[in-house]
Amino acid sequence: MTNWTTACPGWEKRIVAGQSLIPCLPLFPDEAEAALNVFKGLYVVDVAGSPTFGEAGEDWIFDFVAAIFGAHDNESGRRLIREFFLCIAKKNGKSTLAAGVMLTALIRNWRHSAELLILAPTIEAAQNSFKPAADMVRADPELDASAQGFLHIQDHLRTITHLKTKATLKVVAADGKTVVGKKAGFILLDELWEFGTKNNADGMLREATGGLVSRPEGFIISITTQADAPPAGVFADKLNYARDVRDGIIEDKKFLPIIYEFPKPMLEDGSYLDPKNFYVTNPNLGRSVSQEWLEDELRKEMEKGSETRNTFLAKHLNVEIGLNLRSNRWAGADFWEAKADKTITLDLILDQCEVIVPGIDGGGLDDLFGLSVVGRHKVTKDWLCWSHAWCHKGVLERRKSISTRLLDFQAKSELTIVDDKLDDLSSIIEIIQVVKDSNKLAAVAIDPAGVGELVDALDAIGVTQEAENLIGALQGYQMMNAIKTTERKLANGTFRHSGSSLMSWCVSNLKIEPTATAIRATKQNAGDAKIDPVMALFDAVTVMSRNPEAAISLDVQAMVA
């Protein structure tokens, strides 16, 4: 069997039509049928009447199970599709499905002393994954060893043992120590989105899945809802990869993605909020998911702030959170993502702009050092922005809640993490020097607070207040004008930025507070919510909004004379 694809480029039509999102039939139908016979016989005890999967399951569930087990070549002992990714809205039987799949794998497994593992992000999640599996066994005397069966349950260890093959199904909470030395050939990762918030998740998952090297019959299954914040870490990586495989951008015949999400046009026109479309991301609607409950809860959430509403949309409609917008957000945040232009780089600004203003903000060891370079296009007069940030490595330890996100930004070359040598300042000065050498520098705008070391470094390259190419960005009315100018230019399309995910995150962290005479931008949450690169942008705008001209260097003036 060599001719199959896991890409589903027509998924948007399929999902709206309620059709299967699995593009290929089971590669080995006999294996799929044998596994379905086991799976459909398992009891779902948390449903009224304790029906079997065969009695209560939907076709999408059976298609998923058939794809997993039907990828196994019994003659060679190899599984041809080895990794499966399911992203689906909350309450669609995710934990129950996980338990059923792993029990089926335990029963169908032929390898003696094999290890099967459900890895959950927390102890509570681990218990939620183990309980339905144990209940399925206890509901069937032919399975339960305490009756006449062959599966022995150890609740205190969250372990089910096959008494004939001595294979074990274990449910463990994510911890580097709990997965060390595991040789599991069958692994299910529950709620992968939560692993994206753990700074050691990548190494831990590599350790947990290492047993697949010598288990060609094995698989990895990730089952998750959307994150309650913009995707990060291992979840963001896997979600993006899954979309690329699904869309045919990446060919990976060993990876099968199934993502219940709304097509982009439905997100753009708001039709995803129409109750008649809830079925798109809730294939269990009418069974484990109540249409009436979703409608009632959505009605309540629409009356609340956007923060809680976004969490509801992420969990129950599987809508990815972009900018984590709040009611006290900066008005420009509503237009930020739409004005991203990936072609904008520092080199492009140097080439196409007639005047450039770098803004700088931050610099403490617990902050980011933010640089935003704003240029005025020499033809269109539009403002173009490129940003970068630096942080000390200690922030990864002090702010563990955002460490994974910071590492993501570093991987995208949007953030540089520095050691105790603190070469962030020298990197910023190098960029300012390049701008200055282009003879397009109007001035460098900086936050006047705590900039002694920065001022000294700029002085060394001839950027000083005396030369009128270093300006302290004042607060109060001047900063309010910069904030409002930026949002207006975003709205009318005359401000574009490079589409940095770092800047999107910082924009989402902004909170606008009124003062006695103006407004000010501050953080949503002290400490973990970083905004320095955006404040650097506002610093630059305080100068660019004055319609400056480039300050010609002394060398150029001498040449002209």
Tens digits of residue pLDDT in 263-290: 989 988 889 999 999 999 999 999 899 9
218-244 mean pLDDT: 91
Nearest to 143 by CA among 61, 30, 52, 31: 52
CA-CA distance, 89 to 226, in Å (whole number)?
7
The model's confidence at residue 524, banded by pLDDT at 50, 70 and 90, is low
Task: Name all domains of the chain by residue range, CATH numbers in brackets.
Answer: 11-265 (3.40.50.300), 333-557 (3.30.420.240)
The model's confidence at residue 448, banded by pLDDT at 50, 70 and 90, is confident
386-401 mean pLDDT: 87
CA-CA distance, 534 to 460, in Å (whole number)?
26
- Residue 169: what residue type? L
Its pTM stands at 0.76
525 pLDDT above the threshold of 60: no
- Residue 135: what residue type? D
Tens digits of residue pLDDT in 3-29: 899 999 999 999 999 999 999 999 999
Nearest to 239 by CA among 220, 261, 218: 261
Give the tokens for residue 241.
Answer: 């990869």
The DSSP letter of residue 320 is P
CA-CA distance, 69 to 81, in Å (whole number)?
9
Spatial contact of 24 and 6, defined as CB atoms under 8 Å apart: yes
CA-CA distance, 447 to 536, in Å (whole number)?
8
**Burial status of residue 184 (CB atoms within 10 A of its CB: 0-12, 13-18, 19 or more):** buried
Spatial contact of 86 and 12, defined as CB atoms under 8 Å apart: no
The DSSP letter of residue 76 is T
The model's confidence at residue 428, banded by pLDDT at 50, 70 and 90, is very high
544 pLDDT above the threshold of 50: yes
Tens digits of residue pLDDT in 246-266: 999 999 999 999 999 999 899
Cα–Cα–Cα angle for 258, 247, 216, nearest 5°?
55
560 pLDDT above the threshold of 50: no
Give the tokens for residue 538.
Answer: 């506002």
- Residue 240: what residue type? N
3-state class (DSSP) for residue 96:
helix
The predicted structure's pLDDT at residue 527: 52
CA-CA distance, 463 to 163, in Å (whole number)?
77
The predicted structure's pLDDT at residue 516: 55
329 pLDDT above the threshold of 80: no
